Amino acid sequence: MKKVIEIVNVIDTTKVYAELSDPNSGGICVFIGAVREFTNNEEVTALEFETYKTMALKEMEKIADSALKKWSLNKVIMRHAVGEKGVEEPVVVVGASSAHRDACFEACRFLIDTLKETVPIWKKEKFKNKTVWVSAHP
């Protein structure tokens, strides 16, 4: 399977190497996004993610397909978590494997940057006394 596109409740980061490993790949590049404890010096207790799943999977497919067209990749993975996630928990994993490192480094950056721009997933930051939908307001 060349592409793995998933929205899951819990991300297992230990399986990503096996998923991207390929006899023709000399390079594997992975980006993992995780929950950070502080936003603008305010303590975050958790992030809550929700998605419009059917559309999100479709948009993720499009991004993976563009990456496969732009670079010579053997495997591509895009996996995002939903639900409430605590500090240090992984929330997104994207990665690519290719014969040489340039293609997978560039593709990996493209995968996460484009996901953040177009995929219908929303995160709410939970602080001690309030919650905020990220990026909703100027």
Q: Which stretch binds another protein (CB under 8 A): 19-27, 64-72, 98-106, 110-118?
A: 110-118
Task: Find the shortest distance in angstroms from Cβ 1 to another protein.
Answer: 23
Do the bridges between strand 121-127 and strand 131-133 make them parallel or antiparallel, or are there none, so unpaired? antiparallel
How many C-beta neighbours within 10 Å does residue 83 have? 15
How far apart CA 88 and CA 32 sit, in angstroms, is: 11
Task: Find the shortest distance in angstroms from Cβ 134 to another protein.
Answer: 4
* 96 contacts another protein (rule: CB under 8 A): no
Do the bridges between strand 42-51 and strand 38-39 make them parallel or antiparallel, or are there none, so unpaired? antiparallel
* 115 contacts another protein (rule: CB under 8 A): yes
Please identify which residue in 22, 50, 84, 89 interacts with another protein, judged by CB under 8 A. 50
* 54 contacts another protein (rule: CB under 8 A): yes
**What 3-state class would DSSP assign to 73?**
coil
- Please say whether the dihedral angle defined by the alpha carbons of residues 113, 117, 120 and 123, taken in this order, is positive or negative: positive
Please identify which residue in 80, 97, 103, 108 interacts with another protein, judged by CB under 8 A. 80
